[in-house]
Amino acid sequence: MKSKRDSKSADAMRIALGSDHAGFELKKHLAAYLEESGHEVEDFGSFSAESVDYSDYGFKVAAAVGERKFDRGVLACRSGIGMSIAANKVRGVMAALCRDTESAKLSRRHNDSNVLVLAAGFTSEEEARHIVDIWLVTPFEGGRHSRRVGKISQFEEDRAERPRDVAVRPGASGGSEPWSFQPRAVREVDAELFRLMQLEKKRLAESLVLVASESIVETAILEATGNIFSPKYAEGYPGERLYPGCEVVDAVELLAIERAKQVFGADHVNVQPYSGTQANMAAYFALLRPGDKILSMRVEHGGHTTHGCDSNFSGRLYKPLRYGLKRDTELIDYDAIADIAEKEKPRLIIAGGSAYSRLIDFARFKAIADSCGSLLMVDMAHLSGLIAAGIHPSPVPFCDVATSTTHKTLKGPRGGLILCRRELADAIDEAVFPGTQGGPLVHVISAKALCFKLALRSEFREFHVQVVSNCKALAAELQRLGYRIVSGGTDTHLLVVDVRQKGIDGADAWQWLEEAGILVNKCAVPFDEAGPFGGIRVGPLSLTSRGMKEAEMATVAEFIHRVLRTGPDVSGLSRIRSAVREFCSGFGGY
């Protein structure tokens, strides 16, 4: 029931009304009275004197007020107690049970109540009208009461930020607490998007994410990624922009550059690439001409699409030559690289990839590149966090250019990064802008600055020591369960499991595992002629961010084994899904 008087008074409010059966008559009376007084009234029920549950109506009215769809709410039940308890469970609601005008006045002046609860069994219609009148016109006094009321609101906010089904654990994440992502402004303006964000949080909390490139990042990284710099145009570089008003963003970019230099010990850093692919594109643009030969690792042996695949610009613009692993050890075949390089004299040799689990000998790559006059580029997209932590040897002393993502093991925002020798600085910068990109994403650069700061901390190193240790534990446990690990094991944050050797296709394994809430990548196994996906790539970066250690890796391996034995049996996978969910509930999330 909605109504407006022709001439609404200045103090007219939007008022939500509700009652149970015992308060029905009083609410009906007040609805008419409030409408008559010029307020906009909506009656949320109940709509008869038939017995109902007060909580149902208390929640409806409280939610409408808590979500600020209404200015105030008025509730009635026999004693007013049940309604008050129900309404006060709802976020943003201060419900006050008032049986006289004095308490109504105080509930406004001192407590800033926004829901008035009336006791229909003890309050006459006339008393109720007086109480409502006083309550509606009395202002909140503020002052010391603001502080007290503020503490209640803060308490409520803090609780709302931690989903009850996710246990809070200080993760070995190398920085501030990562477990409280709560986009308040989004919640205010877009309930649907907010709901999807909550769903993603739940998905992450309930799954074993073993995608080697995905981690849980600090809340500070999420905040820095979407911020005041987002709309700013800043084409160019610090001190030489094509837009005005860049003095602050100059400082941000310089901060990111200086910190990245410190992290990696590089001569020159470009922090503008939008992604790893953009970083590679810019590096090629700076170093190569169309048709030049590039020598890189086969994708089936762990290389990346942007290193010369037919389907990628790199394979169309340049002439790709391939190297790979040795058949017996599945380690990089440096002798073969040297032979190909000697014969073909590629302009560029690329080291690094997406699925190679062993240490890479950058000094050896450098020697090969030097021997045939090639340039050396290292794509350290997967390894950059380990390199920053000093766990994997650095390519910087050996390569001409190193490219990276900032969102994998570096645990920063989605983005790219280029390091290079001083002599190549101008070529690289020009290749990024204006060569292959437009205005930089200054907000993302600000988050990169933060990520480099976090990467300099001792906690970051400790975190990655744990990642590699977890990865080794996972490999050992899978081997114990009878699985063959490609390259004989791992020295890094990832490993490849050969599932075809168990008569399973990697693509099937990938799907069954996803059904059970275990997320991995399907991938190739070197020298496998039977099909493109003989294996799965797994990595414990995300699980380590949630505080898991070697003991948990044994459980995770056991889960994988159970799934692969279960196969496509839907009910079997669903039972494992429940067990995975239960296991995950003991660890933190966003």
Q: Which residues are marked as active site?
A: 233, 235, 379, 405, 408, 414
Closest CA to 55 of 83, 90, 32, 94: 83
Q: Coil, helix or strand for 247?
A: helix
- Using the minimum distance from each CB to ligand PLP, give the nearer residue, 19 or 213: 213
Least Å distance, CB 325 to ligand PLP, is 16
- Determine the Cα–Cα distance for residues 28 and 45; give it in Å rounded to an integer: 10
User: How is 366-406 classified by DSSP, letter by letter?
Assistant: HHHHHHTT-EEEEE-TTTHHHHHTTSS--STTT-SEEEEES
- Using the minimum distance from each CB to ligand PLP, give the nearer residue, 60 or 307: 307
Q: Are the C-beta atoms of residues 209 and 542 closer than 8 Å to each other?
A: yes
- Using the minimum distance from each CB to ligand PLP, give the nearer residue, 136 or 283: 283
Least Å distance, CB 524 to ligand PLP, is 14
Least Å distance, CB 274 to ligand PLP, is 8
- Using the minimum distance from each CB to ligand PLP, give the nearer residue, 58 or 506: 506
Burial class (CB in 10 A: 0-12, 13-18, 19+), 514: middle
- Using the minimum distance from each CB to ligand PLP, give the nearer residue, 116 or 417: 417
- Using the minimum distance from each CB to ligand PLP, give the nearer residue, 275 or 555: 275
Least Å distance, CB 487 to ligand PLP, is 16
Q: Which residue has the tokens 């279960």?
A: 566
CA–CA distances in Å: residue 310 to residues 278, 298, 313, 526: 17, 12, 8, 19
Maximal C-alpha separation, the chain? 101
Per the structure block, which two tokens stand in for 61?
A: 């009215």
Least Å distance, CB 353 to ligand PLP, is 5
Per the structure block, which two tokens stand in for 357?
A: 């689990």
Q: Rule CB under 6 A: which residues touch ligand PLP?
A: 213, 275-277, 280, 304, 306, 352-354, 379, 381-382, 405, 416
Least Å distance, CB 212 to ligand PLP, is 9
Least Å distance, CB 280 to ligand PLP, is 6
Least Å distance, CB 381 to ligand PLP, is 3
Helix (H) or strand (E) run with residue 295 in it: strand 293-297
Residue nearest to ligand PLP (CB): 276
Of the CA atoms within 13 Å of residue 93, those in its CB half-sphere come to 32
Q: Which residue has the tokens 């933060």?
A: 450
Per the structure block, which two tokens stand in for 307?
A: 């290193």
- Using the minimum distance from each CB to ligand PLP, give the nearer residue, 41 or 286: 286
Q: Are the C-beta atoms of residues 459 and 174 closer than 8 Å to each other?
A: yes
Residue 354 preceded by cis peptide, ω within 30: no
- Using the minimum distance from each CB to ligand PLP, give the nearer residue, 78 or 414: 414
At residue 484, what are phi and psi to the nearest 5 degrees? -90, 130
CA 123 from chain center: how many Å?
Answer: 52
Q: Are the C-beta atoms of residues 419 and 378 closer than 8 Å to each other?
A: no
Per the structure block, which two tokens stand in for 491?
A: 């020295």
β-bridge mates for residue 297, sequence order: 323
Q: Are the C-beta atoms of residues 4 and 40 closer than 8 Å to each other?
A: yes
Q: Are the C-beta atoms of residues 400 and 287 closer than 8 Å to each other?
A: yes
